A and B are shown apart, each in its own frame.
Chain A
Amino acid sequence: MAAEHGPTAGEYIVHHLTHLQNQKPKGVLDFSVFNLDSIFWSITLGVLGCWLLWLAARKVTSGVPGRFQAAVEVLVDMVDSQAKGIVHSAESRKLVAPLALTVFVWIFLLNAMDLLPVDLLPVIFESLYAAAGHDPHHAYMRVVPTADLSVTMGLSLSVLLVCLYYNVKIKGLGGWVHELFTAPFGSHPVLWPFNFLMQIIEFVAKTVSHGMRLFGNMYAGELIFMLIALMGGAFSLSATGIGLAIGHIIAGSAWAIFHILIITLQAFVFMMLTLVYVGQAHDAH
């Protein structure tokens, strides 16, 4: 990386945890900052996911399906049966079931970026960046978009918007406002502020935990991959540390295999919670 000296462990981690941004954030919350790497990778993988599913749909046959078609059918069936169990309105399912499928496929692909070697894409980007005549020290690139809080909170906020839309659509604006003020405790006027407060807390907690759960899992996973990579890096610096190289391979493989479970599970959990929240929007209290 650096020409004069290798980065220390802390520098390596910080470099890998810095986004490629259009400008430095001025505070914790700065809406004029764009994480260009997250945007690029999420759009690329979204297009890839759409293309894969379109490919399956284009060649679809009612005869004996090929392996690819069978896999996509299993996936669509799985999402459809989950949606049927949770969202009972058939009309809403026309939008919600494809939404859930999109969420699942997209988040799975975004999470799967974690399984690429941590330094592969950043190093390629760094050499391109240097070839374009920039300082390679500032070639930041994070390849796992779901390890970016802006992406996961964006997803969970979109789910919140869908929930609000269905609340208004199913119950009517008046019915929903009525529910906001009367729902958990009762319709006595004294209880209105408490009911309203509880409803607001519920919406905020649902949305924040929805986004944070995905972010936390992917962030921790990414960080552990980096620490494992550091272990391999320490091997190349010491003459006797062959144990570190073996440890690197064992730990890397074990964590990668375990991570296959985590990325699928988190994509599944995000999809299921999307369905559950939209289903809740259909229940009248």
Chain B
Amino acid sequence: MEVISFVALAAGLIIGLGAIGACIGIGIMGSKYLEAAARQPELMNELQTKMFLLAGLIDAAFIIGTGIALWFATANPFLAQIANLPK
């Protein structure tokens, strides 16, 4: 029982903390992009490519974390380990 509740907490923390970081990152980048595009609209297309590239990079760590957390939550690997422990 303890394992299940700890894993649930861990999954929540992994997703939540990851989301904080990724969202702040994307927010800062988006605001800078808009500022830059307002100052120099002729650079918009070039900057847009770079912004999407960076969005992919920033998002990656968070999405990897989400994947791992969902895997823990739905197909808990630790329960199998406990079942295999010598009694």
Closest to B77 in A: A14
Contact assessment for B70 and A224 in the assembled complex, using a CB-CB cutoff below 8 Å: yes
Q: Which of A82, A212, A213 has the most CB of B within 10 A?
A: A213
A162 close to chain B: CB less than 8 A: no
Closest to B79 in A: A10
Contact assessment for A212 and B64 in the assembled complex, using a CB-CB cutoff below 8 Å: yes
Contact assessment for B74 and A268 in the assembled complex, using a CB-CB cutoff below 8 Å: no
- Partner-binding segment picked from A33-41, A125-133, A175-183, A214-222: A214-222
Bound form: Cα–Cα A18–B55 in Å: 30
**A268-B53, A272-B53 in contact; A216/B74 too (CB < 8 A)?**
no
Contact assessment for A220 and B64 in the assembled complex, using a CB-CB cutoff below 8 Å: yes
Secondary structure call for the A interface: helix
A230 CB → nearest B CB, Å: 8
Q: Which among A17, A216, A227, A272 is the interface contact of B63 at CB below 8 angstroms?
A: A216
Q: Which among B52, B55, B64 is the interface contact of A213 at CB below 8 angstroms?
A: B64
- Binary contact readout A10-25 vs B (1 if CB under 8 angstroms, 0 otherwise): 1001100100000000
- Using a CB–CB cutoff of 8 Å, the interface residues on chain A facing chain B are 9-10, 13-14, 17, 82, 209, 212-213, 215-217, 219-221, 223-224, 226-227, 262, 265-266, 268-269, 272
- Using a CB–CB cutoff of 8 Å, the interface residues on chain B facing chain A are 49, 52-53, 55-57, 59-61, 63-68, 70-71, 74-76
